[in-house]
Amino acid sequence: MTKAQLTDKIYKTTFAQYKMEDFQSMAIVGNARMDASRQADENCLKAILMIHIDKGRAYVSDLAEALGVALTTAYYSAYRLADAGYIQPLERRGGRKSNKQTLVLTPEGEKLASQILEKHQQIQRWLTCLGVPKEEADEEACHWEHSITDKTMEAIQHHVEMAARIRGCDANAVDVMNAMARAFGQGNNQTISGNLISIIDQYGGAEGIRRKGELSARAGGDDQLEETLVFLEESGGIDKVRADLLSFSRIKKMTDRNGGEDGMAALFALCEDLGGVRRLNKLKTLADAMGGIDQILRILGQNYKLWSAALQADHHEA
């Protein structure tokens, strides 16, 4: 019997009873067991790291308490992590299991634990931003952290950063959304969330977006705000327009004090009859030097009487 014939006989007697679906099912079960084992290891590593962060050291008893398992189960998990090179080998004490056995992460174990913990925190923050209760978000993150891809994780991280910048902001962010839509058509290498974060920074963050929203509302919309900005630029800038507005305000107050537009027209006509503004300013300066307008009017009145009497006397003598 040739080797090929022997192989064919073995296949027919041993595997022919199985269908392809059976092999697929066995593969799925095997992968599921492998994934469950990997998830258990990652949960242990994350728990050990969190214990170290909280207490500065980690005992097997701490791990058992954190995972809610018996001390023997915690030891079994620790031995498996040590065999995989994620923690330092445990001390062998003649079969006796001490609850004070120290767990020390290796560089590789610390790296993996940090990655899992960071994924957990980012996913939890993201779900919380979406309105999921904190406890439920924490529970969901415990499942997602083991299977989520790096690309999806990066997208979630960008979304969390974006939400952190605009969270709590009640301003109109239509411009930001339009800019994000335009970014879809640019075909550049940056992510949409990255472009959106850049646009938010250009507006000065959440506070800048809020202020722009207020300005837009006061102006009557984005189009009116744009027209106002163009007018300001064409008028010499905001400082020039502010000075003009102050001058206009003073003129309006003067107009109101002098009987409105008709009163101002009469005042301007009188000013012209008296020789213009420059002559009036000279008269005002003279009046101030002589004790005020009333004083100069009395002096002029007295002189008028003297001049009138002298003229009348000359007339009679003639």
Residue 34's CATH number: 1.10.10.10
Same-domain pairing of 31 and 60? yes
The pLDDT tens digits of the residues spanning 222-278 come to 677 677 777 777 777 777 767 776 776 777 777 777 777 777 677 667 667 666 667
Asked whether residue 104 is domain-assigned, the answer is yes
- CA distance to 33, 183, 242, 243, 246, per residue, from 236 (Å): 74, 34, 10, 11, 15
Distances (CA, A) of 307 to 58, 283, 286, 313: 115, 21, 21, 10
Q: List the beta bridge partners of residue 139.
A: none
Burial of 116 (0-12, 13-18, 19+ CB in 10 A): buried
Q: Residue 148: is its pLDDT beyond 60?
A: yes
Domain membership flag for residue 4: no
Q: How far is CA 59 from CA 19, 216, 311, 312, in A?
A: 49, 60, 125, 127
Domain annotation covers residue 305:
no
Q: What pLDDT is recorded for position 293?
A: 65
Please check whether residues 217 and 121 belong to one and the same domain.
no
Environment class of residue 191 by beta-carbon count within 10 Å: exposed (0-12), middle (13-18) or buried (19+)? middle
Domain containing 259 equals 235-273
Residue 302 domain-assigned (yes or no):
no
Q: Is 24 exposed, middle or buried (0-12, 13-18, 19+ CB in 10 A)?
A: exposed
Task: Identify whether 8 is part of a domain.
Answer: no
DSSP string, 53-93: HHHSS-BHHHHHHHHT--HHHHHHHHHHHHHTTSBPPPPP-
| Residues 34 and 117 occupy one common structural domain | yes
Indicate if 217 and 244 belong to the same structural domain: no
Q: Are 87 and 177 in a shared domain? A: no
> Could you report how far apart the first and last alpha carbons of the chain are, in Å?
173
> Across the strands, what pairs with 156?
none
Same domain, yes or no: 168 and 216:
yes
Pair 254, 142 in one domain: no
Question: For the chain, what's the residue count?
Answer: 318
Total domains present in the chain? 3
Q: Among the ranges 89-98, 110-119, 249-258, which has the highest mean pLDDT value?
A: 110-119
- Check whether residue 226 and residue 258 sit in a common domain: no
* pLDDT at res. 203: 58
Which pLDDT value is given to residue 234?
77
* 212 and 230 fall within a common domain: yes
Structural domain ending residue among the three candidates 177, 204, 234: 234
Q: Give the pLDDT score at 98.
A: 65
Q: Are 248 and 229 found together in one domain?
A: no
Q: Are 240 and 224 contained in the same domain? A: no
- For residues 136 and 167, membership in a common domain is answered with no
Q: Is residue 83 part of a domain?
A: yes
